[in-house]
Amino acid sequence: MTFAVPKKQRAAFTLIEVIVSVMIISFVVLSLMEISSRSKENAVYLSQRNKASFADSFYLLEEISKYHKKEKNAYELLQSHFHITNDESREILKQISREIIVPEPINIPSPGDTTVKAEASKVILKEQYSSSYFQFKLNAF
């Protein structure tokens, strides 16, 4: 009886090892794509939020409290302060609109015997990205 000598086998991956490695690589690629998508969504959100915050600055005037529970566009508020002659600028300002809510101001008591009187007012601007701002005012010394 003669035994056949097995040929030299070369090292190779089995089919299961190849399938597992492809699955791992696919999972990593999908995770990276999801992270990239979230980063893009966050960047778009932050960009839009910053634009809205800039537009909110048109509404932070001293006399804002007289517009409580009214919706105003930026042009209506700024026309008495600035002479806006450019039609394009005027139209852009008219498109920026916010509902304004200004609750009663809060009087801040003075510490000790000082005569400093102060009040804090909250300004709420409602829109797609609603915002709250605080205004502080010193009344007397």
Q: Which amino acid makes up residue 101?
A: I
Amino acid 110: pLDDT = 75
For the segment 13-47, what is each residue's pLDDT rounded down to a tens digit? 788 888 999 999 999 999 999 988 888 889 999 99
Instruction: Pick the closest to residue 110 from 139, 133, 76, 81 (CA basis).
Output: 139
DSSP letter string over 80-95? TTS----HHHHHHHHH
Amino acid 6: pLDDT = 60
Which of the residue ranges 10-14, 67-71, 96-100 would you say has the lowest mean pLDDT?
Answer: 10-14
Residue bearing the bigger pLDDT, 116 or 45? 45
- Cβ proximity of 133 and 123 under 8 Å: yes
Amino acid 27: pLDDT = 93
- pLDDT category of residue 115 using cuts at 50, 70 and 90: confident
| Three-state DSSP class for residue 49 | helix
Strands (E), 19-129: 70-73, 97-101, 106-108, 117-126
Amino acid 26: pLDDT = 94
- pLDDT category of residue 8 using cuts at 50, 70 and 90: low
- pLDDT category of residue 128 using cuts at 50, 70 and 90: confident
Which residues fall within 8 angstroms of residue 56, CB to CB, at 6 or more apart? 98, 125, 131, 133
> What average pLDDT does the segment 112-129 reach?
83
For the segment 50-95, what is each residue's pLDDT rounded down to a tens digit? 988 888 888 888 888 888 899 999 999 888 888 888 999 999 999 9
